[in-house]
C-alpha cells in the first residue's frame, strides 16, 4: 500500500507528507468537507484511518479536544492529518455535502444515487479483556463499534459467534460487515479486498444479474440467461398450471430458477475475479408468479380471481435459506409487490423511473405478456394490469421471435408498389419479427392502406405480396431468397388479430386509468422493458397502442433491473419502494363496467381512416 485510498469511493491519492487528508480529498473532488472550510473548527471532516502502511502521526491537541476517546479508534480530523505513508481512509457518512454517485446502467441510462449499501465494512480495534468489568468478546466488539461509529448493533448469527474468539485474536483489529447499520453479518481479521452485491431482475423469459462493488458502486458484471423454467411453460399462466398438475412442480421450478441464479452468481464472480464469499447481499425483483416460484411460496391461488399473493411486503431472507450461494451470512432482499398481477418488477421500475416524484401526469407502461400500466404523479399512482398476450414478445405470431440477431425490428413499405424495406438486429439476414418489428409492420400496413380499420386486409390492394395462404390471407414482408431460413416471412390475418387483441387490452387499460383522472391530459410517457427501447413511437401511435396527444416520452430500458440495482446500492431506496407499493392504488379492469366497450373499440385501427385517402 503506497497510496492513500479513500473509501467508500475507491479513489487514490499519493501521500506527500505535506497536504492534509482534507486537501487530498478535495483534489479528487471527494465529498469530504467541513463546515468551517478547513479552518479547523467544526470537527465535521471526520475520517477513520482503517489501516496504515507506517506509523501514524499522533493526534493533535485539537483532534483530542474535538474527538476525545474516538482518536483511540482511529478517528481523525482530515484537516489536521498529514500522512507520509499509504493508508485506507474512510470518509464518515455524516460528512456534509456528500454528492450523488452517477451509475451508468446497461441501457446507457444514468442512475443518480448516494451510495448507502445495505452492507458496509467497519474496522475496529477491540480492547483486551479485563477481569473487571468481565466483558465478553461479543460485548467488547459491540462496544468498540458503538464508540467508534456510534452504531448500536446486534450480533446473533451462531456461526459468527462460533468464530468470534479466534477471529478477534488473529490480528490487532477486525473488520465487521454490518447490514442495515443494525446487524453484524461477517467478521474478517483483514479488511476484505472487496464487498459485492448482486441485483437480479427475474423475468418470465429472461433473467438478468448485475454484480456491483459495494465499496464504490462500480458495476463489475452484467449477465443474462434464459429462464430455465421456459420449457415448463412459456408464460406465467402455464407455469401455474404446471404447478397445479404436478405435485412436485413448484419444487422443480424453484430448483431450476435457483440453479440459474447460482450459475449467474458464479459466472459474475469469475468474470470479476472475486470470491463468492465477497458477495454479501442480493436483491430480487420479478413478477408475482416468479417471486412465488423462486421463494417456493405456493402459487396455487394466483391463478384465479382475486389472485391473492402469499406475501406483498418486502422480505429479507438469509440467502442460504433460499439456496443462494453467496457469503454464508448474507441476505436476499425481495422487493415488495402490489398484487397477483402487479409484481415487484413494476415497483422497481417505478422507483428507477422516478414516476413517483413527477409533477406532470405521467403514463408508465411495461409491455410484456401482461401489460402493466401506471398513471399518476408524485401525489398519487394508480396501476392496472392487462392481459395483452404474448404478441408483443413475438408469441402466437407465425414468424414472431425474441429480439435476437436476425429479428426484423423496423419495416417500411413504399407507397404504390408496396415494396418492403426492413432493418434487422445486428444487420443479420432476417429470421422473423420481434415485437417492435411486428408493430412497425402493422403500422406501415395501416399507413399504406393494406390493413383496413377493422383489421381486414384490403382486397383492393394489388400486390403479389398480398395473397391467400393455407390459413387465409397473408402479406409477405420478405421473400424466401432473402431470409435466413429460406422461407417467406409474412404476416397473416391471424397475426393481425393477435396484435388487435393485445393493443385493445392495453387501450382499454389506459382509457380506464385516464377515467380515474377525470380527463386530465397525460403529459409524458415512460416506457419500460427491453421492448420499449426498440419501439418506434410513431408506429405505436398509429396502431393506437399509446395516446396520440403525448408529446414527451422516455425510454427507460430495463427499469425493473435498474430498480433492483438502486435498492442494492442504497438501502434507503428500499423504504422508497415500500412506500410506492403501499400507496399505489389498483384498478381491476375486469370489474369495470366500461371495460368491454373500450376493449371492442380498441380493436379498431382508427388511424386507418386518416390514411384511406393514400390509396
Which of residues 53, 316, 536, 578 is near its own copies by CB under 8 A? 316
Number of chain residues interacting with its own copies (CB under 8 A) = 50
130 lines the binding site for its own copies (CB under 8 A): yes
Identify the three-state secondary structure at position 207.
strand
- Min separation Cβ 158 and its own copies, Å: 5
144 lines the binding site for its own copies (CB under 8 A): no
Give 139 or 460: the residue with its C-beta nearer to its own copies: 139
133 lines the binding site for its own copies (CB under 8 A): yes
136 lines the binding site for its own copies (CB under 8 A): yes
Which of residues 79, 339, 425, 528 is near its own copies by CB under 8 A? 339
C-alpha cell at 412: 417500411
593 lines the binding site for its own copies (CB under 8 A): no
The distance from CA 425 to its chain's CA centroid, rounded to whole angstroms, is 24
In the stretch 235-274, what mask flags binding to its own copies with x, by CB under 8 A?
----------------------------------------
Most distant CA pair in the chain, distance: 100
283 lines the binding site for its own copies (CB under 8 A): no
C-alpha cell at 117: 449499501
- Min separation Cβ 525 and its own copies, Å: 25
**444 Ramachandran zone, left/alpha/beta (phi>0; psi -120 to 50):** alpha
Among residues 153, 133, 156, the alpha carbon closest in space to that of 142 is found at: 153
Taking CB under 8 A as the binding criterion, the range among 2-10, 124-132, 539-547, 559-567 that sits at the site for its own copies is 124-132
User: In sequence order, what DSSP letters do the residues of 220-282 get, joined into one string?
Assistant: EEEEEEE-TTGGG-SSHHHHHHHHHH-TTHHHHHHHHHHHHHHHHHHHHHHHHT--GGGEEEE
75 forms beta bridges with 48
Which of residues 65, 69, 125, 139 is near its own copies by CB under 8 A? 139
Which of residues 99, 162, 357, 360 is near its own copies by CB under 8 A? 162
User: Residue 555 CB: number of other CB atoms within 10 A?
Assistant: 19
225 lines the binding site for its own copies (CB under 8 A): no
Which of residues 113, 297, 361, 453 is near its own copies by CB under 8 A? 297
Which of residues 107, 224, 315, 601 is near its own copies by CB under 8 A? 315
**172 Ramachandran zone, left/alpha/beta (phi>0; psi -120 to 50):** alpha
- Min separation Cβ 590 and its own copies, Å: 8
Which of residues 307, 479, 517, 553 is near its own copies by CB under 8 A? 307
Sequence-distant (6+) residues with CB within 8 A of 572 are 116
382 lines the binding site for its own copies (CB under 8 A): no
Give 384 or 466: the residue with its C-beta nearer to its own copies: 384
Among residues 533, 557, 536, 537, the alpha carbon closest in space to that of 549 is found at: 537
Dihedral, CA of residue 176, residue 177, residue 178 and residue 183, to nearest 10: -80
Alpha-carbon gap, residue 198 to 344, rounded angstroms: 16
34 lines the binding site for its own copies (CB under 8 A): no
575 lines the binding site for its own copies (CB under 8 A): no
Which of residues 27, 29, 104, 156 is near its own copies by CB under 8 A? 156
138 lines the binding site for its own copies (CB under 8 A): yes
124 φ, ψ (degrees, to nearest 5):
-140, 155
Taking CB under 8 A as the binding criterion, the range among 219-227, 453-461, 466-474, 584-592 that sits at the site for its own copies is 584-592
Give 134 or 486: the residue with its C-beta nearer to its own copies: 134
309 lines the binding site for its own copies (CB under 8 A): yes
- Min separation Cβ 133 and its own copies, Å: 7
Alpha-carbon gap, residue 305 to 317, rounded angstroms: 28
- Min separation Cβ 4 and its own copies, Å: 35
Taking CB under 8 A as the binding criterion, the range among 26-34, 87-95, 312-320, 407-415 that sits at the site for its own copies is 312-320
Alpha-carbon gap, residue 367 to 344, rounded angstroms: 15
Alpha-carbon gap, residue 404 to 425, rounded angstroms: 7
Taking CB under 8 A as the binding criterion, the range among 66-74, 112-120, 348-356, 585-593 that sits at the site for its own copies is 585-593
Which of residues 2, 39, 58, 131 is near its own copies by CB under 8 A? 131
Asked if residue 537 lies in contact with residue 555, where contact means CB atoms within 8 angstroms, the answer is: no
Alpha-carbon gap, residue 113 to 116, rounded angstroms: 9
2 lines the binding site for its own copies (CB under 8 A): no
518 lines the binding site for its own copies (CB under 8 A): no
Asked if residue 474 lies in contact with residue 490, where contact means CB atoms within 8 angstroms, the answer is: yes
Which of residues 311, 361, 453, 541 is near its own copies by CB under 8 A? 311
161 lines the binding site for its own copies (CB under 8 A): yes
Site for its own copies in 95-114 (CB under 8 A): none
Identify the three-state secondary structure at position 172.
coil
387 lines the binding site for its own copies (CB under 8 A): no
Taking CB under 8 A as the binding criterion, the range among 76-84, 303-311, 411-419, 505-513 that sits at the site for its own copies is 303-311
Q: C-alpha angle with apex 553: 100 to 436, nearest 5 degrees?
A: 115
On the CB side of 585, CA atoms within 13 Å amount to 13
User: In sequence order, what DSSP letters do the residues of 535-574 get, joined into one string?
Assistant: --HHHHHHTTSS-TT--EEEEEESHHHHHHHHHHHBTHHH
Which of residues 1, 102, 300, 404 is near its own copies by CB under 8 A? 300
Give 490 or 587: the residue with its C-beta nearer to its own copies: 587
User: Residue 481 CB: number of other CB atoms within 10 A?
Assistant: 7
Binding residues for its own copies, per CB under 8 A? Answer: 129-140, 156, 158, 161-166, 169, 295-298, 300-301, 305-313, 315-317, 321-322, 338-340, 342, 586-588, 590-591
Amino acid at each position: 500500500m503506497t497510496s492513500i485510498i479513500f473509501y467508500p469511493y475507491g479513489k487514490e491519492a499519493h501521500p506527500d507528507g505535506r497536504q492534509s487528508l482534507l486537501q487530498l480529498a478535495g483534489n479528487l473532488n471527494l465529498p469530504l468537507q467541513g463546515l468551517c472550510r478547513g479552518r479547523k473548527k467544526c470537527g465535521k471532516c471526520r475520517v477513520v484511518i482503517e489501516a496504515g502502511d507506517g506509523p501514524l502521526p499522533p493526534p493533535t491537541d485539537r483532534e483530542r479536544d474535538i474527538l476525545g476517546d474516538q482518536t483511540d479508534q482511529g478517528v481523525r480530523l482530515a484537516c489536521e492529518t498529514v500522512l507520509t505513508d499509504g493508508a485506507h481512509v474512510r470518509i464518515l457518512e455524516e460528512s456534509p455535502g456528500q454528492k450523488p454517485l452517477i451509475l451508468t446502467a446497461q441501457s446507457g441510462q444514468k442512475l443518480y444515487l448516494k451510495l448507502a449499501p445495505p452492507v458496509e465494512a467497519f474496522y475496529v480495534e477491540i480492547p483486551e479483556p479485563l477481569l473487571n468489568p468481565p466483558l465478553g468478546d461479543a460485548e467488547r466488539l459491540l462496544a468498540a463499534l458503538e464508540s467508534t461509529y456510534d452504531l448500536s448493533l446486534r450480533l446473533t448469527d451462531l456461526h459468527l459467534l462460533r468464530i468470534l474468539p479466534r477471529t478477534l485474536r488473529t490480528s490487532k483489529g477486525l473488520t465487521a460487515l454490518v447490514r442495515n447499520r443494525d446487524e453484524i453479518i461477517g467478521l474478517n481479521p483483514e479488511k476484505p479486498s472487496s464487498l459485492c452485491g448482486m441485483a437480479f431482475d427475474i423475468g418470465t423469459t429472461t433473467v438478468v444479474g448485475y454484480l456491483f462493488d459495494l465499496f464504490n458502486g462500480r458495476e463489475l458484471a452484467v449477465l443474462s440467461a434464459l429462464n430455465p423454467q421456459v420449457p415448463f411453460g412459456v408464460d406465467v399462466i402455464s407455469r401455474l398450471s404446471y404447478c397445479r398438475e404436478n405435485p412436485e412442480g413448484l419444487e422443480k421450478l424453484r430448483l431450476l430458477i435457483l440453479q440459474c441464479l447460482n450459475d449467474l452468481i458464479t459466472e459474475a464472480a469469475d468474470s470479476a475475479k472475486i470470491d463468492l464469499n465477497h458477495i454479501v447481499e442480493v436483491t430480487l425483483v420479478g413478477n408475482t408468479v416468479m417471486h412465488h416460484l423462486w421463494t417456493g411460496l405456493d402459487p396455487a391461488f394466483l391463478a384465479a380471481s382475486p389472485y391473492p399473493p402469499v406475501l406483498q411486503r418486502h422480505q429479507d431472507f438469509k440467502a442460504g435459506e433460499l439456496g443462494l450461494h453467496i457469503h454464508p451470512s448474507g441476505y436476499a432482499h425481495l422487493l415488495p409487490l402490489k398484487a397477483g398481477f402487479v409484481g415487484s418488477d413494476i415497483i422497481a421500475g417505478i422507483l428507477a423511473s422516478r414516476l413517483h416524484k413527477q409533477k406532470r401526469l405521467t403514463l408508465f407502461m411495461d409491455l410484456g405478456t401482461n401489460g402493466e400500466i401506471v398513471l399518476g404523479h408524485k401525489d398519487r399512482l394508480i396501476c392496472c394490469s392487462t392481459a395483452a398476450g404474448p404478441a408483443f414478445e413475438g408469441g402466437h405470431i407465425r414468424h414472431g421471435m425474441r429480439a435476437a440477431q436476425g429479428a426484423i425490428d423496423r419495416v417500411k413499405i413504399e407507397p404504390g408498389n408496396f415494396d418492403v424495406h426492413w432493418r434487422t438486429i445486428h444487420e443479420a439476414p432476417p429470421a422473423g419479427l420481434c415485437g417492435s418489428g411486428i408493430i412497425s409492420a402493422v403500422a406501415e400496413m395501416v399507413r399504406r392502406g393494406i390493413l383496413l380499420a377493422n383489421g381486414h386486409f384490403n382486397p383492393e390492394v394489388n400486390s403479389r405480396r398480398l395473397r391467400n395462404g393455407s390459413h387465409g390471407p397473408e402479406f409477405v414482408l420478405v421473400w424466401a431468397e432473402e431470409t435466413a431460413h429460406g422461407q417467406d416471412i409474412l404476416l397473416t390475418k391471424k397475426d393481425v388479430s393477435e396484435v388487435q387483441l393485445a393493443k385493445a387490452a392495453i387501450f382499454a387499460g389506459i382509457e380506464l386509468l385516464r377515467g380515474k383522472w377525470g380527463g386530465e391530459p397525460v403529459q409524458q410517457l415512460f416506457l419500460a422493458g427491453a421492448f420499449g427501447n426498440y419501439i418506434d413511437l410513431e408506429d405505436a401511435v398509429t396502431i393506437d397502442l399509446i395516446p396520440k396527444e403525448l408529446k414527451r416520452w422516455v425510454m427507460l430500458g430495463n427499469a425493473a433491473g435498474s430498480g433492483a440495482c438502486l435498492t442494492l446500492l442504497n438501502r434507503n431506496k428500499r423504504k422508497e419502494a415500500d412506500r410506492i407499493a403501499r400507496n399505489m392504488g389498483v384498478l381491476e379492469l375486469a370489474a369495470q363496467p366500461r371495460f368491454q366497450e373500450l376493449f371492442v373499440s380498441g380493436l379498431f385501427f382508427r388511424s386507418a381512416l386518416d390514411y384511406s385517402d393514400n390509396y
